[in-house]
Structure 1
């Protein structure tokens, strides 16, 4: 597991908002220039991003909710790296 990333605290970047969009039947990430339609996994991960919980705590929470998903921790770490690279989140 990527120790430095696990200890970071993610938060949505300024101007981004996560919400469930009934018309799309999924969570979306809204920002001034548009909208990002999220798959179920991305939506579940971003629902945990509140600026207070570390990536490690998010992994623990989702591992408890979805105990039968193999490699969940690595999937969450990979998503956090992509979300950070796409400027959806900040890692502190």
Structure 2
């Protein structure tokens, strides 16, 4: 069971000064910031792509489950919640007010 402070009804967005984008040279989504770069794996990129300040966490989970044609929604939910919690803790994202 996952312990998280991430609400399924919250919408998240990338926090300044981070810039989320596809980096052709890395062949991956990245988070750029003044001190460096974070190269994301494919799933991390798909999650952060949906952190647009409009899509809530429940919708994000449903979209990913559909995209990955997943039968185990609980595994998708736990993975997304864990990733969002870490991302929030690192200051990459914030809840949209």
Q: Could you tell me the TM-score, scaled by structure 2's length?
A: 0.85
Show the counterpart of 2:78: 74
How far 1:68 moved relative to its partner? 2.6
Which of the numbers 69, 74, 90 marks the counterpart of 1:86? 90
> Which structure has the highest helix share of the two?
1
> What's the CA shift string for 1:43-81, capped at 9, x where partnerless?
010111101111111111111111236311110010000
**Count of equivalent residues:** 92
Report what 2:22 is aligned to. Answer: 20
Q: Which runs of 5+ in 2 are unaligned?
A: none
Equivalent residue for 1:65?
67
Unaligned runs of 5+ residues in structure 1 are none
Rounded Cα–Cα distance in structure 2 between residues aligned with 1:3 and 1:83: 12
What is the SS of the residue equivalent to 1:5? coil
> Match of 2:70, SS?
coil
Quick check: which one's strand share is greater?
Answer: 2
Root-mean-square deviation (CA), in Å?
A: 1.8
TM-score (norm 1): 0.89
